[in-house]
Amino acid sequence: MKNKIVTSTVRALSVALLVSSICAFAQERRPVHFSGLINDYSPATVKGGPWEMHGQWTLDVRPESSTADFSADMTMSGYGRTSTNAVDPTQPGVNPHTHDIRLTNVTVTWDMTGCPAYAPPLTTTGFQINGTVSVLTGNGSIAPFETDPPSSTLQVCVTGGSDIQYSVTNSNITLTFGGPATTHFGTQAIHGVVRKASADPFGIDERYR
């Protein structure tokens, strides 16, 4: 009788521990990490433009709160001028400098409303974040065009193809600035590519695949 009671107690404890573990696992929604590159040009109409832009970026999405952190590290350089003050593409690498850009704890919007369009419009899926930058530097210090504290806004859109075979659902990224930063970067979308999108290894967050 005692053996039966002990056995039943052990089984009950085992089941309780298993259920507790499953519930904890189900509630755990690990951050999804995205990363990639930026390669584009600014308009010639901005001060010192056109600028050639190259960089790398990361985006960490927290599904449980629908918030994210974004960071980008970018190099920029301009071009020399001809005798008539026209941009001379044969004289690249003028006025090189760097920018560090951060968005911290901003809300994720799970659609592409207001994101820049592509031609042809092959991007059919995506999400975006929007907010006031927490950091925007020029060569390590607050950028000369930025206010203190920063007031420039940034929209980041991650888009891609349909969720079907031979497609990539997270392939493109765009950065669109508002506020003081537009005097340097312009108001147009800055384009880049998604290199990695690490979804939850246990398949909890299928919408990121």
Is the CB of residue 171 less than 8 Å from the CB of residue 158?
no
Q: Measured between alpha carbons, how far is 191 from 41 in angstroms, rounded to an integer?
A: 9
pTM summary value: 0.80
* Structural domain spans, the chain: 1-29, 31-208
Is the CB of residue 39 less than 8 Å from the CB of residue 54?
yes
| pLDDT tens column, 186-203 | 999 999 999 998 864 333
- For position 1, what pLDDT does the model report? 55
* Distance in angstroms between the alpha carbons of the first and the last residue of the chain: 53
| pLDDT tens column, 77-95 | 999 989 888 888 888 889 9
Q: How confident is the model at residue 56 (pLDDT cuts 50, 70, 90)?
A: very high
List the one residue out of 76, 74, 78, 172 whose CA is nearest residue 128.
172
- For position 29, what pLDDT does the model report? 59
Angle formed at CA 143 by CA 139 and CA 144, multiple of 5 degrees: 115
Q: Measured between alpha carbons, how far is 151 from 141 in angstroms, rounded to an integer?
A: 15
- For position 181, what pLDDT does the model report? 98
Q: Measured between alpha carbons, how far is 171 from 193 in angstroms, rounded to an integer?
A: 6
Q: Measured between alpha carbons, how far is 46 from 120 in angstroms, rounded to an integer?
A: 27
The single residue listed with the structure tokens 């990490």 is 33
Whether cis (ω within 30° of 0) applies to the bond prior to 201 is: no
- H-helix or E-strand containing 7? helix 2-27
Q: Measured between alpha carbons, how far is 110 from 156 in angstroms, rounded to an integer?
A: 12
48 three-state secondary structure = coil
Report in angstroms the alpha-carbon separations of 11 from 6, 14, 15, 132.
9, 5, 6, 54
| pLDDT tens column, 108-160 | 999 999 999 988 778 889 999 999 999 999 999 999 999 999 999 999 999 99
65 three-state secondary structure = coil
